Chain A
Amino acid sequence: MTSTIQTSVQRRHLPFSVALGLGLAIVIIMASLLSPYLMPFDPMRMAAGPRLTAPSMKYLFGTDEFGRDLFSRVLIGGRLSLGIGITAVVSGLLVGGLVGLFAAFSGRTIETVLLRLIDVLYSFPDTLIALALVAFLGPGIGNATLAIAISLVPFYARVTYGLAAAERAKPYIEAARLARIRSGRLVRVHVMPNITQSLIVMGTLGFSSAILSASGLSFLGLGVQPPSPEWGAILAAGRNYITKAPWILIFPGLAICLTVLSFNLIGDSLRDIVDPRRKGRS
Chain B
Amino acid sequence: MLFLISKRVLAACGTVIAVIMLSGTLIHLVPGDPVTAMMAQSVSATPEAMAEMRAKLGLDLPIWQQVLLYLGQVLQGDLGTTIRGNESVATLLLQRLPNTFALAVSGLGVALAIGIPLGFLAAVNRGRIADTAVMIVAVLGVSIPAFWLGLIMMQVFSLKLGWLPVAGSSWRNIILPALTLGLTYCALVARMTRSALIEVLNEDYIRTARAKGLREHEVLLVHALRPALISIVTVVGLVFAYLLGGQVIIENVFSWNGIGRLAIQAMLERDYPMIQGFIVVFAISVVIVSMLIDIVYGFLDPRMRHR
Query: What is the interface of chain A, defined by CB distance below 8 A to chain B?
Result: 17, 116-117, 120, 123-125, 127-128, 131-138, 208, 212, 215-216, 219-222, 232, 235, 239, 242-243, 246, 249-250, 253, 256-257, 260-261, 264-265, 268, 280-282
Q: Is B275 in contact with A136, judged by CB distance below 8 angstroms?
A: yes
Q: Is A235 in contact with B31, judged by CB distance below 8 angstroms?
A: no
Chief secondary structure at chain B's binding surface: helix
Q: Is A215 in contact with B145, judged by CB distance below 8 angstroms?
A: yes
Choose among A136, A232, A250, A282 the residue that contacts B272 (Cβ–Cβ < 8 A): A136
Choose among B26, B148, B290 the residue that contacts A256 (Cβ–Cβ < 8 A): B148
B61 within 8 A of A: no
Choose among B31, B268, B279, B290 the residue that contacts A222 (Cβ–Cβ < 8 A): B268
Q: Is B18 in contact with A120, judged by CB distance below 8 angstroms?
A: yes
Q: Which residues of B contact A256 (CB under 8 A)?
A: 145, 148
Q: Is A220 in contact with B264, judged by CB distance below 8 angstroms?
A: yes
Q: Which residues of B contact A235 (CB under 8 A)?
A: 147-148, 151
Q: Is B139 in contact with A257, judged by CB distance below 8 angstroms?
A: no
B198 within 8 A of A: yes
Chief secondary structure at chain A's binding surface: helix
Q: Is A128 in contact with B248, judged by CB distance below 8 angstroms?
A: yes
Q: Is A280 in contact with B159, judged by CB distance below 8 angstroms?
A: no
Bound Cα distance from A282 to B195, whole angstroms: 5
Q: Which residues of B contact A136 (CB under 8 A)?
A: 26-27, 29-30, 272, 275
Bound Cα distance from A281 to B228, whole angstroms: 13
Q: Which residue on chain A has the smallest CB distance to residue B159? A: A243
Q: Could you give 29 example pairs across A and B, Cβ below 8 Å?
A: A123-B15, A123-B286, A123-B290, A124-B286, A125-B245, A127-B249, A128-B282, A132-B275, A135-B267, A136-B26, A136-B29, A136-B272, A137-B29, A138-B30, A212-B145, A215-B145, A219-B145, A220-B249, A220-B264, A220-B267, A220-B268, A242-B159, A243-B155, A246-B155, A249-B155, A257-B143, A264-B142, A281-B199, A282-B191
Q: Which residues of A contact B245 (CB under 8 A)?
A: 124-125, 127-128
B144 within 8 A of A: yes
B53 within 8 A of A: no
Bound Cα distance from A243 to B162, whole angstroms: 12
Q: Write the nearest CB–CB distance from A59 to chain B, whole angstroms.
A: 20
Q: Which residues of A contact B148 (CB under 8 A)?
A: 235, 249, 253, 256-257
Q: Is B241 in contact with A132, judged by CB distance below 8 angstroms?
A: no
Q: Is A242 in contact with B151, judged by CB distance below 8 angstroms?
A: yes
Choose among A133, A208, A281 the residue that contacts B195 (Cβ–Cβ < 8 A): A281
Q: Is A222 in contact with B159, judged by CB distance below 8 angstroms?
A: no
Q: Write the nearest CB–CB distance from A239 to chain B, whole angstroms.
A: 7
Q: Which residues of A contact B238 (CB under 8 A)?
A: 123
